[in-house]
Chain A
Amino acid sequence: MSNINGKVYAMNAITPMKPWKTWIVRGILFLLGHFKSLRQDVVNLSFIEFARWVVLPRRGFPFLGNGQVKENLQYDYLLFFSNFNGTWNQYIDAFSAVLSKGLNLIWRWSEKFPGSVPVTLFKQYIALLQFDTDYYYSAYPHATANDIESAHIVQSSFDQLASIAEQSSPQQFADAYLRFVLQVQCHIGATGDAPVAG
């Protein structure tokens, strides 16, 4: 079991919801998906590489026959999967501090959700609902979400400079190179080993 691979942490959580509340959650997540301004805080947090919520209706569990017994559940379930950088405590702290309204809006429909503030009860709730990852793969485990975003900025600027390098005079190139360095100077930090959480 490992929830961590390099600089990425895999979180899985499952919460029960009364079926009539599911439609409210679906509506909220629909709005979140369609209005960029509503998810700006998540973008600004900039340590989430990928995340998803999945509403799983009580009759929506895959049933394949072949001796499988059909589920008989009273609750719908909300699954949450996140791939984030940093430690579990940093993640929950940041969520609670920055996204408390948004999280409350999504999770308040789950049974016994205590609210994301104060953070102590929120952490207890998440710890109860979390289940561990058995296998976790990343194509670029040494890189954080910020590293990846920065790397693409560097690549784009680099390609532009490379495309004019041979046609320019030395002085024109030197000027373009200076502009390039100014563009990328905030994006060229090295991606070293992940810090040890403790």
Chain B
Amino acid sequence: MPNKNGSVYGLTILSPIIDDDKATPSHDLQIRDYLAKLSTREDSPFAVAPGTHLARLVVLDDVIYVGMPACEEHLRSKYLIFESNCDGDLDGYLHGLADTIGDHLDAIWKHCVGYPGASNRQAFIDYMKACQLDTTFYFAAVNDKSVEETLRALQTQTAVADFIATHQGADPATLQREFIQFAAQLRARPIPRPGSMGPLRDIKTGGHNE
């Protein structure tokens, strides 16, 4: 199935945003305003909810006119795109989102047409599936590891580099004893929290061709 690659699921959701002349500011602007203030680090909703490798939220204002001789056309709604690369199956992932970050989901999707709220689990899942687009081709560089496995591996990679650097030339008995101790400590160490190792950037940048 194109939505899956190995154990990773490529979720694409396109939710029509409410078009209301009386809303001030407009619903799309309210979504953007909320997203602009949302953390992208360990307190991000997607770090709190289980199973998200990478995810993005994008307001699609309109389709793009590429110039003559193509026809110019426009969308009648703006859409909220949710693109996520996540572990496991879709139902489990959506349940996890609704269980852990329902308030955030409601704050974002309440501006979308027909959104039932995360508290009504079945209606929420039905809504998300009604807005889902099937992926035609999905590529994942690493497609058989969970978020936790990847975070643990990255932690191990750094620790192993330090261990190797500090144990050059050690005699076999010392090397073995200290490696056993190191391996036990590393196994006991908590997995880094998702998003916790990112850069601290107060100013968010990243335009088209940065």
> Residues of A with Cβ closer than 8 Å to B?
1-6, 8-10, 12, 14-16, 25-26, 29-30, 32-33, 39, 42-43, 46, 48-56, 60-75, 77, 79, 81, 83, 87-89, 110-112, 123, 125, 127-143, 145, 147-152, 154-155, 158, 161-162, 165-166, 168, 170-171, 173-174, 177, 181, 184, 187-191, 193-194, 197
Contacts and interface: CB of A to CB of B under 8 A. Distances in A.
Q: How many B residues are at the interface, by size bracket?
A: 35 or more
B40 A130 contact: no
A133 B197 contact: no
Contacts of A51: 138-139
Nearest to A42: B139
Contact of A165 (B57, B131, B176): B176
Interface stretch (B76-84, B90-98, B117-125): B76-84
B107 interface: no
B160 to A, nearest CB: 6
Contacts of A4: 205-206, 210
Contact of B204 (A2, A125, A138): A2
B158 interface: yes
Contacts of A62: 14-16, 79, 130-131, 133
Given A43-B141, A65-B114, A73-B73, A170 B53 contact: no
B195 interface: yes
B24 interface: no
Contacts of A83: 54, 85
B176 A173 contact: yes
B56 interface: yes
A25 B136 CA distance: 9
Contacts, number: 315
Contacts of A48: 139, 141
B55 A137 contact: yes
Given A29-B137, A33-B138, A138-B198, A111 B154 contact: no
Nearest to B156: A155
B70 A154 contact: no
B188 interface: no
Contact of A135 (B15, B35, B205, B207): B35
B137 to A, nearest CB: 4
Interface of B: 2, 8, 10, 12, 14-16, 18-19, 31-32, 35-36, 38, 40, 44, 46-47, 52-61, 63-64, 66-67, 70-71, 73, 75-77, 79, 81, 83, 85, 113-114, 130-131, 133-142, 145, 147, 149-154, 156-158, 160-161, 164, 171-173, 175-176, 179-180, 183, 194-195, 197-199, 204-210
Contact of B57 (A66, A110, A134, A168): A134
Contacts of B206: 1-4, 9, 133
B154 A143 contact: yes
Nearest to B115: A64
B208 to A, nearest CB: 5
Contacts of A89: 209
A24 B195 CA distance: 39
Contacts of A5: 40, 198
Which 5 A/B pairs are nearest by Cβ-Cβ distance?
Answer: A4-B206, A170-B172, A141-B198, A174-B172, A139-B194
A69 B76 contact: yes
Nearest to A154: B157
Given A5-B198, A12-B81, A87 B66 contact: no
